[in-house]
């Protein structure tokens, strides 16, 4: 009985413990529940957690602020041929990791590799087997790309692939600038490159040199934006508020440049650069009746498309460098002497040397030509003759004329970083030395401005590069007009006298420019050989340590065109300077003279839409515009075309189209460099180009052989 009572007591005690523990647990749970309830009430009322605003965090999670990129305006030549344009490119890639799925388990990876390879081969220049190799990498990979064949794709190619609805196939977009002509007035046109935008945290195309930089604001346009709420798959949620502002695309700029003439000039300059290796070479062609620059270039230069040689060739020599012009500057001193009444053609002077302020000035022919008439001073390029005329004028009169010619002042041509040069005449010696182009510095465009005074009855015209600026809607915002910047020559007779003396420069008996004569053609010329200042003081010595130059105007009696060339320190001077420069001057001048006598204006046509058309239809469309279709591949439909639809080009040009399938090497002999580069870009097969010249003379792979991206194809120009 006692034992039974003890057992009951123990049970009663255990029951008491359990009751107590249960009570405690109930109280704890109640407290926890109250804490949660309190927390939820607090969050619901305050909308904050740890000081963070929950509504803002939710908005950040489901809101999307998207920058709508503006398209940068294009740059065209005066005929509407493309020089620079925006070109968004795409890189296609494939996701292989099977863990990549949507929230409802739809695959975001490549499901059927064989089908994917078959479809992609219709667009990419790769075979099915080559694509399968990429889709089956040796090592495990989350995603793969398709090499160079899968990069640089156009929007049209991207849309073609997207229409196939292949799981796991995605794209990366890259903004880019297309310069289809390669090295083509590169420092004038300039360059637009990707730069980080601190506000949007994206990359924008920004002009970094040339016209691209000067007109960056007009070309760039203005980005828009879109703000909206999206769901987990980034689709806009219904009935949600959104904000939208459309992007304003950039304006298009039409230049005064003539693409045909520019390309011709580029080839001639490259030939001289390759053969004689000058430290610098410049060339400008201008319509001096209007001030329009028709062609302009320099060496060294760079290819804005490939960026080859860019790192060491940033400076625009035409405008950012000043130099002592040498004897071409005698045009100014002779014109000033004529205008001021101090030139007497029949007066004789003693050539050879003249002493001023204890210093002796020599002619380039140190012994001189004896006592000669002043009418021969200019064609013989006599320093003593020019110094004598300057001394007759006096420094003050000479300085007034230099001011009228705007020497030492900017031309304000539409290029960044213009260097105005300087002129500083304090003594009789200073004045005499500047009369033949030493001791005074100029830039190339200043000299072009000076030469225009000989063509417009003494009125100088500002050199101009822009024909018009057009808005995206087609409205002309600003249009070219002649801009008169002074009249340093007050008499048409004065200009005619100077031009007659420039014709005498071609006189084979005593003129310095006989090498530039074109028999039967009306040309006025002045040559120049300027000494180069030494960093140690004085001037450099040596047969090649000069800036050699020539300026020519045609027709001589009433100039329409001006050609001005400079060449600094040719390192391989195997020919006389005048022969080197004449190899550029005479062909360009002959072409200009020919353009005045016959109607050589190219017939400009618009490239039709050829992509996605049957090959037979594409041929007919091209033929209607006078274009020749060059087919790459063995397919029956056009997948891509070298010139985009709407592009302006010249009738008779080739238009390359890619149809997929096997690519056979064509006979490229007689093709132009542009033809070769268009074929390479269309077929996406790299081609090495050797030599300089206008036409292909040989190729390393014979006609009819199968080629692909791994082929070592090279052509030689001559």
Residues marked active site are found at 327
Is 682 buried (19+), middle (13-18) or exposed (0-12) by CB count in 10 A? buried
Retrieve residue 490's tokens.
Answer: 């007050």
User: Residue written as tokens 């401005």?
Assistant: 449
Residue 113, phi then psi, degrees to nearest 5: -65, -35
In degrees, rounded to 5, the angle at the alpha carbon of residue 54 between the alpha carbons of residues 49 and 59 is: 155
- Beta bridge mates, 375: none
One-character DSSP codes across 38-84: HHHHHHHHH-EETTEEHHHHHHHHHEEEEEEPPPPPPEE-TTSBEEE
Retrieve residue 717's tokens.
Answer: 């120009």
Nearest to 580 by CA among 172, 314, 281: 281
Is 294 buried (19+), middle (13-18) or exposed (0-12) by CB count in 10 A? buried
Retrieve residue 239's tokens.
Answer: 């009935």
d(CA 266, CA 264): 5
CB 630 within 8 A of CB 659: no
d(CA 504, CA 182): 40
Sheet harboring 713-717: ordered strands across? Answer: 687-690, 713-717, 696-699
Q: How many beta carbons lie within 10 A of that of residue 688, not counting itself?
A: 12
Q: How far is CA 643 from CA 254, 464, 630, 658, in A?
A: 19, 29, 12, 11
224-229 and 243-245 as β-strands: parallel, antiparallel, unpaired?
A: antiparallel
Residue ranges of alpha helices (H) inside 200-282 are 210-214, 216-220, 259-276
């Amino acid at each position: 009985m006692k034992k039974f009572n003890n057992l009951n007591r123990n049970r009663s005690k255990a029951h008491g413990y359990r009751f107590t523990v249960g009570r405690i647990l109930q109280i704890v749970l109640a407290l926890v529940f109250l804490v949660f309830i309190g927390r939820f009430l607090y969050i619901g009322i305050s909308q904050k957690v740890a000081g963070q605003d929950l509504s803002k965090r939710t908005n950040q999670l489901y809101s999307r602020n998207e920058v709508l990129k503006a398209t940068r305006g294009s740059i065209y030549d005066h005929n509407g041929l493309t020089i620079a344009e925006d070109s968004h490119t795409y890189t296609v890639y494939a996701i292989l990791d099977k863990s990549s799925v949507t929230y409802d388990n739809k695959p975001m990876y490549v499901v059927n590799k064989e089908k994917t390879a078959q479809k992609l081969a219709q667009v990419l220049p790769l075979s099915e087997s080559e694509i399968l190799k990429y889709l089956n990498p040796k090592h495990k990979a989350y995603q793969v790309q398709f090499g160079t064949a899968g990069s640089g794709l156009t929007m049209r190619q991207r849309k073609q692939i997207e229409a196939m609805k292949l799981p796991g196939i995605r794209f990366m977009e890259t903004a880019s600038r297309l310069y289809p002509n390669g090295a083509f007035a590169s420092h004038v046109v300039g360059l637009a490159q990707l730069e980080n935008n601190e506000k949007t945290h994206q990359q924008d195309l920004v002009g970094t040199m040339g016209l691209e930089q000067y007109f960056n604001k007009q070309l760039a346009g203005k980005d828009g934006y879109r703000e909206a709420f999206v769901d987990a798959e980034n689709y806009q949620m219904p009935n949600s508020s959104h904000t939208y502002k459309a992007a304003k695309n950039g304006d298009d700029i039409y230049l005064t440049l003539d693409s045909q003439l520019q390309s011709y000039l580029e080839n001639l300059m490259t030939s001289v650069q390759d053969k004689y290796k000058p430290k610098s070479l410049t060339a400008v062609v201008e319509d001096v009746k209007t001030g329009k620059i028709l062609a302009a270039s320099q060496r060294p230069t760079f290819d804005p498309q490939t960026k080859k040689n860019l790192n060491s060739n940033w400076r625009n020599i035409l405008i950012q460098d000043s130099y002592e012009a040498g004897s071409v500057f005698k045009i100014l001193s002779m014109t000033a002497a004529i205008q001021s009444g101090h030139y007497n053609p029949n007066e004789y002077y003693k050539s050879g040397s003249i002493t001023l302020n204890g210093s002796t000035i020599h002619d380039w022919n140190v012994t001189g030509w004896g006592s000669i008439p002043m009418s021969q001073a200019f064609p013989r390029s006599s320093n003593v003759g020019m110094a004598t005329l300057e001394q007759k004028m006096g420094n003050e009169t000479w300085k007034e004329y230099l001011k009228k010619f705007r020497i030492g002042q900017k031309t304000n041509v539409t290029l960044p970083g213009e260097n105005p040069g300087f002129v500083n005449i304090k003594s009789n010696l200073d004045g005499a030395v500047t009369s033949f182009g030493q001791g005074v510095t100029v830039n190339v465009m200043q000299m072009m401005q000076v030469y225009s005074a000989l063509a417009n009855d003494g009125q100088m015209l500002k050199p101009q590069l822009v024909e018009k600026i057009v808005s995206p809607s087609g409205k002309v915002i600003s249009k070219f007009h002649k801009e008169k910047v002074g009249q340093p020559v007050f008499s048409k007779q004065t200009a005619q006298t100077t031009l007659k003396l420039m014709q005498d420069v071609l006189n084979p008996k005593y003129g310095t420019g006989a090498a530039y004569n074109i028999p039967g053609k009306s040309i006025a010329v002045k040559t120049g050989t300027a000494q180069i200042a030494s960093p140690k003081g004085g001037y450099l010595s040596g047969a090649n340590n000069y800036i050699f130059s020539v300026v020519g105007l045609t027709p001589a009696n009433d100039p329409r065109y001006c050609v001005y060339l400079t060449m600094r320190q040719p390192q391989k001077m195997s020919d006389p300077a005048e022969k080197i420069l004449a190899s550029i001057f005479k062909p360009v001048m002959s072409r200009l003279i020919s353009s005045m006598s016959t109607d050589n204006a190219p017939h400009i046509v618009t490239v039709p839409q050829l992509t996605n058309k049957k090959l037979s239809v594409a041929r007919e469309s091209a033929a209607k515009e006078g274009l020749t279709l060059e087919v790459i591949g063995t397919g029956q439909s056009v997948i891509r075309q070298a010139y985009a639809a709407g592009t302006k080009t010249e009738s008779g040009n080739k238009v390359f189209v890619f149809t997929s399938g096997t690519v056979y090497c064509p006979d490229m002999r007689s093709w132009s460099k542009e033809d070769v580069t268009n074929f390479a870009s269309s077929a996406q097969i790299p081609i090495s180009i050797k030599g300089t010249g206008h036409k292909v003379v040989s190729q390393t792979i014979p006609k009819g052989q199968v080629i692909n991206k791994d082929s070592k194809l090279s052509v030689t120009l001559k």
